[in-house]
């Protein structure tokens, strides 16, 4: 918004009685243009009106009206402000420097000059300028807030926090400083404290879009995806055309698993502002999440065409190539990301998860140092820990490997706690809701929402062979391998089944809602084959609702050795929080036992639609078990299913490289090398195979 528009909005809020919102807008103008007479008079009028009310402090009025030292003529300042509004930063710098020579002790001109330097990217000069302003006028809170903004742009978030706190000490109601403080706290992984800052900012300025955006970002950092979306939608109601808001809405929808909606929102944002690289990279992430890998690659390339020095997008491009099985291009992209930003641990770790990292390679020592560095975020240290584990595991040093693995899991468990008891309670509630049976949908209901494809759910514990079986089936001419679709989880969330929460029982309305959601998602995939596989392992939780809503669907239940499955969950890092039971040995074993119990219950309700696939037998007797697998899926035999490793498609799981190799045996024995360290897990699994 321009200064004039901001002032008009502030006056309107004041007239409506929203003094806090009006004051926030006046202060926003004064932080940038301390000489703006309209903003000063508006703030003074608010303070004067407040002074006559109970509990009011008249100091604000005195501060607003405090006399200033001689400086540039009002016309000169207004001319500079107009240049700033037009974005003519070069002219502001030239004229500002001339006026600064004439009035070297005028805080207003020095502040405006420093703001222009900040806009021009001369952040060191801007910070020095704001320091001069503060030295000349110690009570000028805006200079500290502006300094905090410049520091934040440099990534110096701890310094930005200190500057924002200095501004708030002078003016506790300054929303600009509250917002910068909030972002500094978010970026230093103190989202709880940041949330309080943004809540205060929203309370003081409920109609300020940036306050709502900050609130949404803090909630997102805390994993509160739905509440984050609520805040972003509140911001959108204030400014429907705001690109930042649309971008954040897309990211929040993605976090909620509403990936189709996220793709649409982020694609719209990128189309509205195509010059912004970040919009294309966010769109790329969403496209990848719905399996549109080629489009995701194109979006990454569009982002890099606009900002070829963005290390994060190069890292994303590396992930895309890895999922498509192109190891050479993935490594090339990760190396590019590292060359641009050597301090970023993620591409370094991902690069060495593709290759075997020799222990005498300099990168091994580098990652060990990063793993021990408290300045590196817990999330990044976790990724590094898993990479170190794999390197030491391949070198045959089990004790050192397990030490890194166990420490990485403890880090993630502390950063992202998992409540296994709440999930077990949810399973019990599901079984109770289905205990009396469920009436199937009638033919009229099925005709109302026809199936665009026949769903084939591949479920089980993560790391039980779901990716392998989908790759086999996707090699069939009648099958589209869709990967891990979020549609069941999204549909169940709409019915109240979010994470470990207990939602609506199955009835005609809820089942029809789930049917519409899921078949709508399948239809949007644009697949041209009659059968679609959905290999989201944790869909085993929702099979009661899914099979009742979609009598066309069948289920393949992967059953792998309990010890091998649980060890593989504990020794691999997963994206997202749904699999976080794998960060604890006892939680992993408890989930394994619970999934067996729940699958036995679903099989008793749908005995003809759920088939068990024994992973070990499939790897040892490939053709025999593949024939059984295809029969259970309702498919005719095709020889191509034996050459599954030749099928080209994106695989977005930790098994991405394995499914591109021929069938191999023995993986279920890998846990034995670590048996001395797995006591808590093995004790809980005693007697289960």
Tens of pLDDT, residues 102-136: 888 888 888 889 898 898 889 999 999 999 999 98
pLDDT recorded at residue 608: 94
pLDDT tens, residue by residue, 655-673: 444 544 555 566 778 899 9
Task: Please compute the mean of the pLDDT values over residues 248-256 and round it to a whole number.
Answer: 85
d(CA 187, CA 151): 12
Across 146-160, 424-438, 454-468, 634-648, least confident range: 634-648
Question: CATH topology for 420-684?
Answer: Rossmann fold (3.40.50)
Tokens of 220: 């997102």
Structural element, H or E, at residue 613: strand 610-614
Distance of CA 32 to the CA centre of its chain: 33
Is residue 344 pLDDT above 50, yes or no? Answer: yes
For the chain, domain boundaries: 355-415, 420-684
Across 51-65, 529-543, 640-654, least confident range: 51-65
Task: Please compute the mean of the pLDDT values over residues 674-683 and round it to a whole number.
Answer: 96
pLDDT tens, residue by residue, 420-436: 999 999 999 999 999 98
Across 41-50, 86-95, 218-227, 436-445, least confident range: 41-50
pLDDT recorded at residue 428: 96
DSSP letter at 258?
-
pLDDT recorded at residue 434: 94
Task: Please compute the mean of the pLDDT values over residues 217-242 and round it to a whole number.
Answer: 90
pLDDT tens, residue by residue, 139-177: 888 899 999 999 998 889 999 999 999 999 999 988 889
pLDDT recorded at residue 55: 32
State residue 307 phi and psi, 5-degree precision.
-145, 80
Task: Please compute the mean of the pLDDT values over residues 73-96 and round it to a whole number.
Answer: 85
pLDDT recorded at residue 571: 95
Three-class DSSP labels, 642-656: HHHHHCCCCCCCCCC
Decide: helix, strand or coil at residue 532: strand
Burial class (CB in 10 A: 0-12, 13-18, 19+), 444: exposed
Structural element, H or E, at residue 424: helix 420-434
Distance of CA 607 to the CA centre of its chain: 38
pLDDT tens, residue by residue, 40-71: 667 656 544 433 333 332 233 334 444 555 67
Across 286-295, 389-398, 537-546, 667-676, least confident range: 286-295
Is residue 396 pLDDT above 50, yes or no? Answer: yes
Decide: helix, strand or coil at residue 185: helix
Find all residues with CB under 8 Å of 126, minimum gap 6, and list them.
114, 115, 117, 118, 146, 147, 150
Mean pLDDT of the chain: 86
Is residue 88 pLDDT above 80, yes or no? Answer: yes
Tokens of 515: 């049917």
pLDDT recorded at residue 370: 93
pLDDT recorded at residue 69: 53
d(CA 588, CA 603): 22
Beta bridge partners of 614: 559
Of 348, 358, 351, residue with least CA distance to 329: 351
Burial class (CB in 10 A: 0-12, 13-18, 19+), 415: middle
pLDDT recorded at residue 516: 94
Confidence of residue 237 (pLDDT cuts 50, 70, 90): very high
Percent of the chain with pLDDT over 90: 54
Pairing of strands 554-559, 479-481: unpaired
Strands (DSSP E) contained in 11-89 are none
pLDDT tens, residue by residue, 3-34: 667 777 777 777 666 666 676 677 667 666 66
Beta bridge partners of 409: none
Confidence of residue 651 (pLDDT cuts 50, 70, 90): very low
């Amino acid at each position: 918004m321009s200064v004039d528009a901001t002032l008009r909005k502030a006056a309107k809020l004041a007239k409506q009685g929203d003094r806090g919102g009006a004051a926030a807008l006046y202060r926003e103008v004064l932080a940038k243009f301390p000489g703006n007479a309209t903003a000063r008079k508006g703030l003074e009028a608010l303070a004067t009106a407040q002074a006559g009310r109970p509990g009011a402090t008249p100091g604000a009025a005195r501060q607003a009206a405090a006399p200033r030292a001689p400086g540039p003529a009002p016309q000169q300042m207004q001319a500079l402000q107009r240049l700033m509004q037009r974005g003519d930063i070069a002219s502001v710098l030239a004229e500002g420097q001339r006026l600064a020579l004439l009035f070297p002790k005028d805080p207003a001109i020095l502040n405006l000059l420093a703001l222009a330097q900040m806009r021009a990217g001369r952040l060191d000069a801007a910070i020095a300028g704001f320091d001069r302003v503060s030295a000349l006028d110690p009570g000028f809170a805006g200079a500290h807030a502006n300094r905090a903004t410049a520091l934040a742009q440099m990534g110096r978030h701890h310094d930005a926090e200190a500057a924002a706190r200095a501004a708030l000490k002078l003016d506790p109601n300054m929303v600009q400083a509250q917002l910068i403080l909030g972002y500094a706290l978010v970026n230093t992984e103190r989202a709880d404290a940041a949330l309080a800052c943004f809540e205060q900012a929203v309370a003081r300025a409920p109609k300020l879009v940036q306050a709502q955006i900050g609130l949404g970002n803090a909630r997102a950092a805390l994993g509160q995806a739905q509440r984050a979306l609520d805040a972003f939608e509140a911001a959108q109601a204030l400014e429907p055309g705001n690109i930042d808001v649309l971008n954040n809405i897309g990211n929040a929808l993605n976090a909620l698993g509403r990936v189709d909606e996220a793709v649409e929102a982020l694609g719209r944002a990128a189309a509205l502002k195509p010059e912004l690289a970040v919009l294309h990279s966010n769109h790329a992430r969403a496209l990848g999440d719905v399996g549109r890998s080629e489009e995701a690659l194109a979006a990454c390339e569009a982002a890099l065409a606009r900002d070829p020095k963005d290390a994060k997008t190069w890292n994303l491009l590396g992930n895309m190539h890895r999922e498509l099985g192109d190891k050479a291009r993935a490594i090339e992209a990760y190396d590019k990301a590292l060359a641009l930003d050597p301090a970023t641990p993620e591409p370094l770790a991902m690069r060495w998860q593709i290759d075997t990292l020799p222990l005498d390679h300099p990168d091994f020592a580098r990652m060990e140092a990063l793993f021990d560095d408290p300045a590196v975020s817990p999330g990044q240290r976790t990724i590094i820990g898993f990479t170190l584990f794999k390197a030491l595991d391949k070198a045959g040093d089990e004790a050192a490997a397990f030490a890194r693995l166990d420490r990485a899991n403890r880090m993630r468990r502390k950063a992202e706690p998992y409540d296994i008891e709440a999930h077990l309670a949810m399973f019990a509630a599901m079984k109770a809701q289905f205990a009396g049976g469920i009436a199937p949908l009638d033919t009229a209901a099925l005709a109302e929402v026809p199936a665009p494809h026949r769903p084939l759910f591949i479920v089980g514990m993560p790391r039980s062979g779901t990716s392998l079986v989908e790759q086999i089936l996707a090699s069939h001419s009648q099958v589209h391998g869709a990967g891990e679709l979020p549609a069941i989880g999204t549909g169940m969330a709409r019915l109240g089944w979010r994470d470990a929460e207990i939602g609506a029982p199955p009835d005609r309305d809820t089942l029809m809602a789930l049917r519409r959601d899921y078949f709508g998602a399948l239809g949007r995939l644009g697949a041209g084959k009659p059968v679609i596989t959905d290999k989201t392992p944790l869909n085993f939780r929702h099979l009661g609702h899914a099979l009742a809503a979609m009598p066309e669907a069948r289920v393949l239940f992967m059953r792998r050795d309990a010890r091998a499955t649980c060890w593989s969950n504990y020794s691999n890092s997963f994206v997202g929080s749904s699999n976080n039971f794998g960060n604890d040995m006892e939680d992993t074993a408890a989930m394994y036992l619970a999934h067996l119990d729940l699958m036995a219950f679903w099989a008793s309700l749908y005995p003809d639609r759920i088939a068990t696939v024994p992973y070990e037998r499939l790897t040892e007797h490939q053709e025999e078990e593949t024939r059984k697998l295809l029969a259970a899926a309702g498919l005719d035999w095709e020889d191509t299913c034996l050459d599954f490793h030749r099928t080209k498609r994106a695989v977005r799981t930790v098994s991405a490289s394995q499914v591109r190799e021929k069938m191999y045996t023995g993986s279920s024995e890998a846990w034995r090398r670590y048996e001395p360290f797995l006591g808590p897990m093995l004790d809980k699994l005693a007697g289960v195979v």
